[in-house]
Chain A
């Protein structure tokens, strides 16, 4: 039954993807991308990946749609039909699809417990997590502790992307040399004059923030962690900006503070690693942070997840403000 439901969802995803590519109205394409992400999140959930489903729902269906819409407002919504090499592209794509499908016949069947991917290091993680780290969520244990180096790298990629966007938008548009590069929208904007969205939105924001904190600090025990929580908290502030206008949101969380959050989150993660070295362990070895190694692991995971959450919130909000505050030309 669940397999059939999965097949149904996957088929819907293919249909949505085809519609996204075919439509010439970019607004429609972006909204369909949001639906695509939601279907993908449901699918991840069926595939036992609760953490990933939460991330995809918060980021793919939420933040990514907002960023694309922000970009559309600055670039225009219609796509011109002009593709000279359409047949060539179609044939390349068709041939490659067939080759990839041919390759899948060598893959172990869906859900096969004897597949090579389950034989290597994964059983070790599942076995050792209770004694070495002692938190229930193995995904968080692997993410934050066993493979903390990887996650540090990912945080620096997010950090770099955020800084990159800030640099790009620090430059002024060449043709309007008189106006400043980043211009905050007028205070009258937002949904201030619409009563129902405003009342409902203001009621929702505290609960979204609370849920964000829950996801952040409950990530050791259930699905969640810094990446998801960062996206959820950012979503709360984006909702606030949509309701009250760009300027008001920047008064609550000024850009200087957001830039501080980006750097501070990445620094906190790195600092935990260096603290481990100073206390006589290896880089990102949390066992030495407290007298008891398991308590040390808990403290380390709490701190680096906080660093991840802070950095992700800072980056997503900075990008949103960079797009939303850009003057339309």
Chain B
């Protein structure tokens, strides 16, 4: 188990960079937004992983359990609200992409730059 002690953080790093790759290397705007949401999920994973305590349980108090161990509630609160804020900002991004499609006729960044140059 000692070996796997940092596995969650490695997955965080890999997911973060997979998302980042989609943002910088893919010309399609929808693909960029999908990459951004993977990036965002990776950050959520980092926070929730840090809150976990060995042998702990979800931070919901119950009577009758002797000396319970709870995981950290604070990162969970931050991420819970961040997920909802994330979908709202993604929706706003998708709205902008749809408007770009309507004005430029394409959502490929090369095409958009082409139209702008004309």
A residues near B, CB below 8 A? Answer: 3, 6-7, 10-11, 13-14, 17-18, 20-21, 26, 29-30, 33, 36-37, 40, 43-44, 47-52, 55-56, 59-60, 63-64, 67-68, 70-72, 74-76, 79-80, 82-83, 85-86, 89-90, 92-94, 96-97, 100-101, 104-105, 107, 109-113, 115, 117-118, 121-122, 125-126, 129-130, 136-139, 142-143, 147, 150-151, 154, 157-158, 161-162, 164-165, 168-169, 171, 173-175, 221-223, 225, 227, 230-231, 312, 315-316, 319, 322-323, 326, 329
Contacts and interface: CB of A to CB of B under 8 A. Distances in A.
A107 B6 contact: yes
A49 B73 CA distance: 8
A262 to B, nearest CB: 11
Given A74-B98, A97-B17, A162 B53 contact: no
Consensus secondary structure, chain B interface: helix
Contacts of A63: 87
Contacts of B28: 26, 79-80
Contact of B18 (A18, A104, A154, A162): A18
A6 B31 contact: no
Contacts of A59: 83-84, 87
Interface string B85-99: 101111110111111
B58 A223 contact: yes
Consensus secondary structure, chain A interface: helix
9 contacts: A21-B18, A37-B41, A48-B58, A93-B21, A110-B8, A117-B50, A138-B60, A150-B81, A161-B89
A105 to B, nearest CB: 7
B43 to A, nearest CB: 12
A316 B72 CA distance: 29
B94 to A, nearest CB: 4
Interface residues of B, number: 86
Contact of A164 (B58, B75, B92): B92
B13 A136 contact: no
Given A21-B38, A110-B49, 18 more contacts: A6-B8, A10-B7, A10-B8, A26-B28, A40-B45, A48-B71, A50-B58, A76-B101, A104-B12, A110-B7, A117-B75, A136-B61, A139-B80, A168-B95, A168-B99, A175-B102, A223-B60, A322-B95
A3 B8 CA distance: 10
A60 B71 contact: no
